[in-house]
Chain A
């Protein structure tokens, strides 16, 4: 039931781009994206609602394909501050308000 993210880990040089994928086996109402630094709580990035929605937040954007039950997070011109573990969170239809986190993607940005 836990959404599967890919890749599990990625190392980038500063300025490079990355794509993180999130795939669910269940129908989704929405997808949430979070970034977590080591030893800290997750920080909200964005919510994607439906219908192939795309959103952007500075140089971080995302898309949601509800038919495929998939979402992708795009990081462009990565900065050192982007390092951390990225989690998608899925809100299921009939899921009783629960947010289920994906398996996580560890992103390391090197100078």
Chain B
């Protein structure tokens, strides 16, 4: 089955620094990947849709200059949290699909727990 690898699984950084999170589709090509953020005891909220070879599409209220997304190849998307602050501490999860359309499943990475101190 489809596998999505995400790392790091946990990262602690100082306030004001930047953190990069990688999401890889291991056995399939993904022209589109998705980045979610999840706060404790809440649902997953879509941050942005990462498109290979073009700009990401951000959801309303998500700062694109703060959450930089790069999808340089068909198997890799990265999310960089720039100038991180404690309120950015959260669980970040990526997902990808093997095919398009309403009937294809989404495979999720294992998530990254970001703590900003």
A→B interface (CB under 8 Å): 2, 29-30, 32, 39-44, 47, 49, 87, 89, 91, 96-104
What is the total number of residues of chain B having a CB less than 8 Å from a CB of chain A? 26
Tell me how far the C-beta of B106 lies from the nearest C-beta in chain A, rounded to whole angstroms. Answer: 6
User: B77 contacts the other chain (Cβ, under 8 Å)?
Assistant: no
User: B44 contacts the other chain (Cβ, under 8 Å)?
Assistant: yes
B→A interface (CB under 8 Å): 6, 32, 34, 36, 42-46, 49, 57, 91, 93, 95, 97, 100, 102-103, 105-111, 113
A29 in contact with B46 (CB, 8 Å)? no
Tell me how far the C-beta of A12 lies from the nearest C-beta in chain B, rounded to whole angstroms. Answer: 19
Closest A residue to B109 by beta carbon equals A41
Bound CA span A29–B34, Å:
19
Q: Which residues of the other chain, B, contact A49 by a CB distance below 8 angstroms?
A: 102-103
Say yes or no: A41-B57 contact (C-beta < 8 A), given A2-B43, A30-B103, A97-B49: no
Q: Which residues of the other chain, B, contact A42 by a CB distance below 8 angstroms?
A: 44, 93, 108
A32 in contact with B105 (CB, 8 Å)? yes
A47 in contact with B105 (CB, 8 Å)? yes
Bound CA span A91–B103, Å:
9
Say yes or no: A98-B105 contact (C-beta < 8 A), given A40-B110, A40-B111, A41-B93: no
Tell me how far the C-beta of B42 lies from the nearest C-beta in chain A, rounded to whole angstroms. Answer: 8
Bound CA span A80–B40, Å:
22
